[in-house]
Every structure is written in C-alpha cells, then in structure tokens.
C-alpha cells in the first residue's frame, strides 16, 4: 500500500520528509494543521504582499528579528521559496490560507492559485512550533505538542517594534510556563534557533512588558502558569501580520493558524538533505 492509498494519520506525518508532507497537502490528502509534521524541520509563517510593500516589510522584519525571523523571500511573482524548499509552491503547499483586504479578514481559502499574481511577493518567517520541539526534547514540557486542548497564550506587549515604512506597532509575544529551575535551559535551547524566534524577550512579571491580565490574552488563551513555574515570553510570528493589518495594506494573504509551511531546512536554518 502506498502513502497515496491509505488514510493519513497525524502521527504518520512526523516521520515523513518535508516534500512528502507538502505533496500530501498539495494533493489535498492532508488538510489539517502541521503540528508535529516532518519533525526536525523548520516550519514557517507565510505572509504574501503586493510588491509595492515588499521592501518596507522586509526592512521591518530585519529590524525586528525576534518576532519576525526571515527564512526566505520570493522573487516578485514567483511562488517558489528557493532557499527554504526549492521546487515547492507557496500557492498550494499550505493546507489553509487567510485573505485580508484593507486590514480585515475577508476569506479563508484552500489555495492561492486564483489569487497569486505577478505582483505578489511571499515571505517565510520563523515560527515557534519549531523550537517547541527543541524545548520538549530538552526536558522542558510543551504540553500543546501532545494534548490537543493545550494552547500557548499569545498577548500584545508594550515592547515597540522598530518601524519601517508603513509598518509599526507593538510586539506580539507568546508565554510558555517553564519550571523555574529550567528557565536558564529554556534560554539556552531557544537561543540556538534564531530562525524560530530565538531567545526569550522577557522572563518573569508580565506587567513589565505591559501585559496586565495574564489570564486573558488578546490573541490566544492558553496554558496557565502553575506552581513552581515562571512565565517566559518569546517574540511571536503573529507580530508581522498584526502590523500589516494595522497598516491596512490593501491585500495580504497569510497561512491560517497552525497550517504552516514545512521547509526543507533543519531547525537551525541549515540546509538538510
């Protein structure tokens, strides 16, 4: 029985090569999220913008590498990410996309074949799914990797991003409860993966970065801080989307939350055969 013939289970995806995952998504054999798919490979957020905004947006990302680590940028009109996954197609190789017009969500679509024009540029930005795996392997439990009811809380902080052109605004951050005696290890482990947001941006009191209610995040409500745990905050890939929405860019396509692009790259960004 070939891969094509049987029904795909999420657990199957873990050991698949990145191009096999992308092909299954392209063929609509897998339409779910990419949590745990192609383990050990860097997954990425997608942002697609009209060429007019591309240079400003790229400067914004380069100036704010913690929330917006740049993995790849396509040539205008091309949907092939030549660095992250030569031969892949950003119009079809993610399982769900969001369409925003003038900063408002207007549609959710299964591909971008009818929407992507010669005028579009695709950006692949690091996502924390990748370092969650590294944290978990290092003995710092990441329950959301196993328990589908577990989530990572996501907040708007008061840390200002460095602006570029029309793009500006506060950094969106995620919070993971970390056993207090493993906070140093969490910094060390994630610091090795700058393309997956890298080291934390804050440790400890949420109020220090303008978060007044840790129980009620603006974006995602996730696991609460428990006894003997310290709140650790990382830059979040929602930041560039939030900033592009706030700038009311006429047209923007992104991945749908959890439906990431699976690159060929190792977690540290190096090419991997």
Q: Is the separation of the CB atoms in 43 and 263 below 8 Å?
A: yes
Q: Is 145 exposed, middle or buried (0-12, 13-18, 19+ CB in 10 A)?
A: middle
Nearest distance in Å: CB 141, a second copy: 30
Nearest distance in Å: CB 82, a second copy: 7
Looking at the Cβ atoms of 166 and 258, the one nearer to a second copy is 166
Task: State how far the Cα of 237 lies from the Cα of 196, in Å rounded to an integer.
Answer: 9
Nearest distance in Å: CB 146, a second copy: 34
Nearest distance in Å: CB 200, a second copy: 15
**Residue list 50-109, contact with a second copy (CB under 8 A):** 51, 54-55, 58-59, 62-63, 70, 73, 75-76, 82-83
Nearest distance in Å: CB 213, a second copy: 31
With CB under 8 A as the contact rule, the residue among 164, 173, 182, 249 that binds a second copy is 164
Q: What element of type H or E holds 176? A: strand 170-179
Q: At what angle do helices 183-191 and 129-137 cross, to 10 degrees?
A: 130
- What is the token pair recorded at 238? 């929602």
At 248, give phi and psi (nearest 5°): 50, 45
**Residue list 204-243, contact with a second copy (CB under 8 A):** none
Residue 121 CB contacts under 8 Å (≥ 6 apart), including other chains: 48, 49, 50, 51, 54, 73, 74, 75, 76
With CB under 8 A as the contact rule, the residue among 105, 162, 184, 207 that binds a second copy is 162
Looking at the Cβ atoms of 54 and 232, the one nearer to a second copy is 54
With CB under 8 A as the contact rule, the residue among 165, 204, 250, 271 that binds a second copy is 165
Q: Total binding residues for a second copy by CB under 8 A?
A: 16
Looking at the Cβ atoms of 67 and 222, the one nearer to a second copy is 67
Looking at the Cβ atoms of 139 and 160, the one nearer to a second copy is 160
Task: State how far the Cα of 45 lies from the Cα of 34, in Å rounded to an integer.
Answer: 11
Nearest distance in Å: CB 83, a second copy: 6
At 247, give phi and psi (nearest 5°): -75, -5
Looking at the Cβ atoms of 170 and 222, the one nearer to a second copy is 170
State the first-to-last Cα distance of the chain, in angstroms, to the nearest integer: 26
Task: State how far the Cα of 267 lies from the Cα of 136, in Å rounded to an integer.
Answer: 14
Looking at the Cβ atoms of 177 and 269, the one nearer to a second copy is 269
Looking at the Cβ atoms of 51 and 229, the one nearer to a second copy is 51
Give the bridge partners for 176, in sequence order.
232
Cα distances (Å, whole numbers) of residue 192 to 26, 48, 189, 234, 272:
32, 27, 6, 14, 17
Nearest distance in Å: CB 74, a second copy: 9
3 state DSSP class of 158: strand
**Residue list 15-34, contact with a second copy (CB under 8 A):** none
What DSSP character marks residue 48?
Answer: E
Binding positions for a second copy, rule: CB under 8 A: 51, 54-55, 58-59, 62-63, 70, 73, 75-76, 82-83, 162, 164-165
């Amino acid at each position: 029985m070939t891969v094509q013939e049987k029904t795909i289970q999420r657990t199957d995806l873990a050991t698949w090569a990145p191009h096999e995952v992308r092909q299954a998504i392209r063929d609509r054999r897998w339409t779910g999220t990419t949590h745990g798919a192609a383990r050990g490979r860097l997954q990425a957020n997608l942002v697609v913008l009209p060429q007019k905004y591309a240079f400003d947006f790229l400067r914004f990302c380069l100036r704010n590498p913690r929330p917006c680590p740049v993995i790849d940028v396509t040539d205008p009109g091309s949907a092939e990410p030549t660095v992250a996954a030569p031969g892949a197609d950003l119009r079809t190789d993610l399982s769900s996309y969001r369409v925003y017009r003038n900063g408002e969500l207007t549609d959710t679509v299964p591909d971008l074949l009818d929407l992507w024009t010669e005028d579009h540029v695709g950006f692949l930005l690091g996502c924390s799914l990748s370092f969650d795996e590294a944290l978990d392997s290092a003995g710092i439990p990441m329950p959301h990797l196993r328990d589908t009811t577990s989530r990572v809380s996501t907040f708007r902080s008061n840390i200002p991003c460095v602006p570029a052109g029309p793009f500006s605004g506060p950094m969106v951050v995620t919070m993971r409860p970390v056993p207090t005696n493993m906070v140093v290890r969490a910094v060390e482990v994630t610091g090795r993966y700058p393309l997956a947001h890298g080291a934390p941006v804050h440790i400890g009191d949420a109020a220090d970065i303008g978060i007044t209610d840790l129980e009620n995040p603006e974006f995602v409500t996730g696991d609460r801080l428990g006894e003997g745990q310290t709140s650790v905050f990382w830059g979040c890939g929602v930041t560039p989307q939030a900033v592009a929405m706030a700038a009311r860019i006429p047209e923007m396509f992104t991945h749908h939350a959890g439906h990431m692009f699976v690159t060929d790259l190792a977690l540290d960004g190096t090419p991997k055969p």
